[in-house]
Amino acid sequence: MATRGRVLIISADKTLIGEMTPSLAGREYEVLTSSGVREAALRLGTEQFAAVVFDQAKVTPQEREALLGIHSKQPTYALFLVENQASLSPVESLPLRRLNWPLPAGFVDQVRAVDRPIVFLCDQTLFATNALGMHLTQSGIQPIRMESTKGMIDFVRQQCEAMTPKPKSLKPKSLWERLGASGDTDVQEPVVLGKILIVQFPGSVQEAEALDGLLRQTVSMAICYYVSGADPVRAAAKAVKESFPASLMREQAGRVAGILAGATDEPGKKDGPKEKDRILLLDNYQPTLATLGQALMAAGYEVTTSMDGAEALKLAGKKGTFHLSIIGTAIAMAQQSGAELAQKLREFDPDLRIIFMVDRYPLQAALQGVSQVVELGLDDALLKPVEASRLIFSVQRAMERRHLLLENARLLKEVQTSNQQLEQINGFQKKFFAMVAHDVKNPLTAILGYAEVLGMRLKDQPGELKCAGHIHSAARTLNALISDLVDLAAIESGKLRVEIGALDLAAVANEVRSRIDVVAQQRKIALSLEMPPVLPALSGDPHRIGQVIQNLCTNAIQYTKEGGSVTVRIDVTPDWVTIGVRDTGIGISKEDLPRVFERFFQTQEAQAMRKAGFGLGLKIAREIVQMHGGEIGLDSQLGVGSLFYFTLPVKK
C-alpha cells in the first residue's frame, strides 16, 4: 500500500510509541522505531524518512548534539524533539531548550533547587506582561530583568564568578586556626546578586540557539531556555516548514501526524492540531498591558502586546495572524486614531474581531469611542480601567461570533460547491439522455422492424423463427427502457409532450388490459378490471394516461408471485375519477415509501428480484398525472401487497 512516507521514532518508551502510531498510520505514514541514537544515526545515513521523532527522556547531551548535527547537515526530513519534565530539568548545562507558557508543573521547584545561573529568553509579550517574573516571584525566586541581550553574557559571567566559593585568605594559618578553635571555615559564603535572569528576546528560536552557544562557551555552567507564549503546535508547524527542529511536550506528541499532513485549525477540519486563539493587545499604558496580558494568557489565549500602532499594523499585516485585536483608543506613537487603526486592521483581515478600550474621561471622547463601535461594526467597547474578568467575557463572546461566522462561511462554500457539482452532473445527464433519444432510438426502431420482417419470412423454420422472436422481444424491452430515458429527459427540460383532448377512459383501460393480459397469464396471475358502466366526460391524453395505467399494471405483475392477483379498479365521485391498481405482491417497507417516486429508485426487494428497468416509471407516471391536474399516491405493506392510485378531474 502506498504511504506518504516513513516516520522514525527514536524512543525506548513503548507507551509513547503506542500513542503516536495510530494517528500516524491514520495519516498513511509508515512507523518505524529505534531504541537508540546510534542505531538511528546509521539508518538516517542510508534510508529516507519523512520525519524523525526524538524522545529526549533518557539521552545524553552528546547524543542530542549528534542528532541535531546530522539534521543540520541533511535537513531532508522533519525533526521533532519530544520534551518532558526530565529533559527540561535544569540540572546540567544542555543546549537550548524550549519552554511554553504556562511553565510545566514542578519546573519552578527544580529551578529553585539549582545553584547554576539560569537565563530565560522571553518573547516580547511574556516580557511586557511580566508573567514569568510574577510567577517566579510568587514561588520565592527573585529574578533579574534585562530589556535586551546586550551585555547579557558578561553579566552572567559576573554572576557565575560571584557564585563560585573563594578562599578567605592565602596567608598561612596559625596553629590555633588549624586546630579549629576560631570556628571559621576555609571558604567564605558567595555574594550572589541573583542567579535567575529574564531577558527580552524578540528574535527567532534559531537566533536564540546561536546566543545560547555563545553563552555556554563563555560560562559553561550556565543554563538557557527560550520561553514563548505562542501556541506550541503552531510554532512546531512553523519550524517544520522552515526545516528547523521542532519542539513538542510529551503530551503533544500525538499532534505530529497532523503537523506533517499540514492540517490547520480551520472550521470544519476537526482532525487538525488545535491552536490557541491569538489576540493582539494594543495600549499606551504598560501596566494595562501587563495586567490584561497576564489575565488573557491565564485564560488560554496566545497574546501579543504592543504600545505602538505602527508596530501593530506591521504585526497584523497578514490575514489570519490574529483572531482578535483589543485596542486602547488613545495609542501612543500612532499616526492614526483608534478608529482608523481598526479600519486598517479590518482591511488586512475582514474576519478579525475588534474590541475598543475607551478612556472614561473626557465624557465626549468616551461617547465617541462607544459610537464608533456601532459605526464600524466592532464587537464591544469597554471603559477604562478595564477589569480582567469583564475583558475575558467580551473576548469569549467575540471569539464565539468569529467562529460562528467562519463556520457559516465554510458551510455556504460547501453548499455552493455541491450545487456546482450537481449542476455539472445534471448537465451531463441531460446531454446523455438527449444523445440516447437521438442516437439510439433510431437504430433500435430499425432493429424492431427487421425482426418483424424476419419473423414473417421464417414461419416455416421454427428454430430461426424462435431466434427472431428473441431479437424482437429484447428490442422491445430495450425500446421501453430508452423511452423512459427519453421521457425523463423531456421532463427535466420541461418539454414532455401531453396532448389534452377528449379522453375515453374505459377504452384506454380495456386496451391496456388486452396488452398485458398475455403476460399475466404466462405468470399465472389473475388480472381483473372493475369499473362502473358509465364514466363521466374527461379531458386528457389517451396515450399518456394509458402509459400510466400500463406502468402501474406492469409493476404489479412483475412483483407479484405466481398465483397472485392484480386488480384495476375505477371509482367515480362528482369531482374526481380514481384509477387504482391493487396487487398481492412483495409490498414496500415504510422506510422506502417516501422515496418510491424518486428517479432511479428501486427498493432492495425489487432489486433482489432483478427485474429490468431504471426505476423511472413511477417518476414519469407522477409527472404525467400532475400535468393532467391530478395526483398519484400509494398504500403498501411489506409482504402483503400494494395499491397505487391516481386521480383525474371530472370535466365540468
Q: What is the DSSP string of 27-66?
A: TTEEEEEESSHHHHHHHHHHS--SEEEEE-TT--HHHHHH
Cα of 103 vs its chain's centroid, Å: 30
Pairing of strands 97-100, 78-83: unpaired
Distance CA 209, CA 202 (A): 13
Cα of 204 vs its chain's centroid, Å: 30
Distance CA 436, CA 488 (A): 11
pLDDT score of 541: 92
List all residues 6 or more positions away from 381 whose beta carbon is below 8 Å from its beta carbon: 355, 356, 357, 358, 369, 370, 372, 373
- Could you give the dihedral angle defined by the CA atoms of residues 494, 495, 497 and 498, in that order, rounded to the nearest 10 degrees? 20
Rg of the chain over all Cα atoms, to the nearest angstrom: 42
Q: Does residue 393 contact residue 399 with C-beta atoms inside 8 Å? A: no
Phi first, then psi, for residue 647 (nearest 5°) are: -115, 150
Cα of 221 vs its chain's centroid, Å: 47
Neighbours of 407 (CB within 10 A): 13
Neighbours of 508 (CB within 10 A): 23
- pTM score over 0.75: no
**What residues pair up with 54 in beta bridges, in sequence order?**
10, 81
The residue among 481, 498, 490, 495 whose CA lies nearest residue 441 is: 481
pLDDT score of 572: 93
pLDDT score of 224: 93
SS3 612: coil
Provide the CB-side half-sphere exposure for 118 (13 A, CA). 25
Q: Does residue 258 contact residue 78 with C-beta atoms inside 8 Å? A: no
Give pLDDT < 70 ranges for the chain. 1-2, 163-194, 263-275, 331-335, 429-430, 433-434, 436-438, 608-614
Q: What DSSP character marks residue 149?
A: S
Strands lying side by side in the sheet with 118-122: 97-100, 223-228, 118-122, 196-200, 144-146
Identity at 272, one-letter amino acid code:
G
Going from the C-alpha of 61 to that of each of 56, 69, 84, 94, the distances in angstroms are 9, 12, 15, 6
Distance CA 78, CA 122 (A): 25
SS3 283: coil
CA angle (472, 477, 480) in 5-degree steps: 125
Q: Does residue 293 contact residue 302 with C-beta atoms inside 8 Å? A: no
Q: What stretches of 284-395 adopt beta strand conformation (E)?
A: 302-306, 324-328, 353-358, 380-383
Q: Does residue 597 contact residue 547 with C-beta atoms inside 8 Å? A: no
Distance CA 642, CA 592 (A): 13
Distance CA 217, CA 120 (A): 17
Distance CA 125, CA 135 (A): 15
Identity at 1, one-letter amino acid code:
M
Going from the C-alpha of 473 to that of each of 296, 442, 443, 561, the distances in angstroms are 80, 17, 16, 22
Pairing of strands 632-637, 5-10: unpaired
